[in-house]
Amino acid sequence: MNAHSPQAVQQSWQDAAGRVHAGPVHEAVGDFSVVDCACCGFKHVLPLPTPEQLREVYAHDYYTQEKPAYIEHYLQDKPWWDAVYAERYQRLEGWLPGTRRRLLDVGSGPGLFLLNGRERGWQVRGIEPSAQAAAHSRDSLGLDVQEGFLDENSVGGMGRYDALNLGEVLEHLPDPAGMLSLAHRLLDEDGVLCTVVPNDFNPVQQLLREQQGFKPWWVAPPHHLNYFDHASLSALVARCGFEVLHVESTFPIDLFLLMGQNYIGNDTLGRQVHGQRKQLEQALLGGGAGELKARLYKAFADCGIGREVVLFARKKCQRMRPPAETPQPQEHPST
C-alpha cells in the first residue's frame, strides 16, 4: 500500500477528548490501521486502545505471551547492555554537573539500566508495569522499583529528578505527548531526558517491504501503537517543552535482511545476527574506537536508518544559556 499516492486510503477517528486523528493509511493489520496522523505529527494505529485495555496487557501478558524469553535473553546480554548503558550515562553526565545524579527510569523493565546507574553513583528509581520485570528488579537486583504506570494518579508521589529515561516506552502509549508532559513535570530545571523508540517505516524497511515482498513485521498492535522516525520524535519532544540536544541511531540490524539473513520469525537466527551486532560494538568499544562508533551511529541517524532512535533533550527553562556541546562517549574496556 503506497500511502503517498493520490489514491491512498484516508482514515479518521475521534478520541474521547474530541480530537480527530486522520491521515493516509500506511498499513492495516487485523482491526488496526496505521495512519500518518496530521493531528499528532507521527504515525500511529487507529483505533487507539483505551488505557484500561493496555494496563491488562502490560501488567500480566507482555513478558509471558509477547516476549516470553525477553528477561532470559536480556540477562544473557548483560555485558553488551552494560556497554550500551555506559554510553548513555556518559552522555547524561556530560550535560549535568556532578552534583546532579538523580534518575527515574520509566518502564524500567528487568532493571539493568538502573543497576548501571547505581554502580556509577547515581540515585536511581524505577517504575514498571510488568509484575515479572518489577519483581526481578526488586528481588534479584535490590533496586527501588515501583510496580505500576506513570500517570496522573502516580506522578505526584514520584519526586523530582535530574534525568529521566524512557527506553522503548513511547511506542506503547495511546498518548505519548501526555507521557512527555509528565516527564517535563518530574525533571528539575535543566534536567535531561533520554528516550529510545523503534525507528519504523525507515528506508531499509520500506525497501524490504516494497521491493522484496516482506510483510511489515514491525507493525505490531496493540503492543506497538506509535511509529516514529528521527524527525517525528524530535518534533514531538520539542512541542512538549524540551530542547533536543543529540539524536543518534542504534545499529541497523535490518541490513541483515538485505544480506539474505531472514531472521523474521526465526528466534535462533535472530539471536545469531544480534550476536554479530554485539561483537561489532564490543570490538569497537573495547578497541578504543568509541568516538568512531559514535560518529558512525550519528551518521546512521542522518541517513534515517538504524533500528532505534536514541534522543537526548533538555527541559527548557526561561533563562537563556549557551547551547551545550555534545559529549563524546568514553572508551570501554573489553568485555
For residue range 132-182, what is the model confidence (pLDDT) as tens digits?
899 999 999 999 999 999 999 999 999 999 999 999 999 999 999 999 999
Q: Domain boundaries in the chain?
A: 1-48, 49-315
Helices (H), the chain: 51-56, 70-76, 78-95, 112-119, 131-135, 176-186, 203-211, 230-239, 255-258, 267-286, 290-302
**pLDDT over 90 at 334, yes or no:** no
Please count the residues of the chain: 335
Closest of 314, 307, 184 to residue 248, by C-alpha: 307
Q: 4: pLDDT confidence band, cut at 50, 70 and 90?
A: very low
**pLDDT over 50 at 257, yes or no:** yes
pLDDT given at position 71? 83
As a whole number of angstroms, the distance between CA 118 and CA 100 comes to 13
pLDDT given at position 50? 80
Per-residue pLDDT tens digits for 268-311: 999 999 999 999 999 999 899 999 999 999 999 999 999 999 99
As a whole number of angstroms, the distance between CA 24 and CA 59 comes to 32
**pLDDT over 60 at 27, yes or no:** yes
**pLDDT over 90 at 251, yes or no:** yes
Which is more confidently placed, 315 or 60?
A: 315
Beta carbons of 156 and 146 less than 8 angstroms apart: no
- Tell me what the mean pLDDT of segment 111-126 comes to: 98
Alpha-carbon dihedral of residues 326, 121, 309, 332, nearest 10 degrees?
A: 70
Per-residue pLDDT tens digits for 28-45: 999 999 999 999 999 999
pLDDT given at position 317? 75
Half-sphere exposure of 160 (CA within 13 A, CB side): 8
The mean of the pLDDT values for the chain is 90
Let me know if 333 is exposed, middle or buried by CB neighbors in 10 A (0-12, 13-18, 19+): exposed
- Tell me what the mean pLDDT of segment 241-247 comes to: 98
How large a percentage of the chain has pLDDT more than 70? 89
Beta carbons of 234 and 247 less than 8 angstroms apart: yes
C-alpha cell at 245: 540536544
**pLDDT over 70 at 6, yes or no:** no
pLDDT given at position 335? 33
CATH number assigned to the domain covering 49-315: 3.40.50.150
* Strand bridging mode 242-249 / 308-315: antiparallel
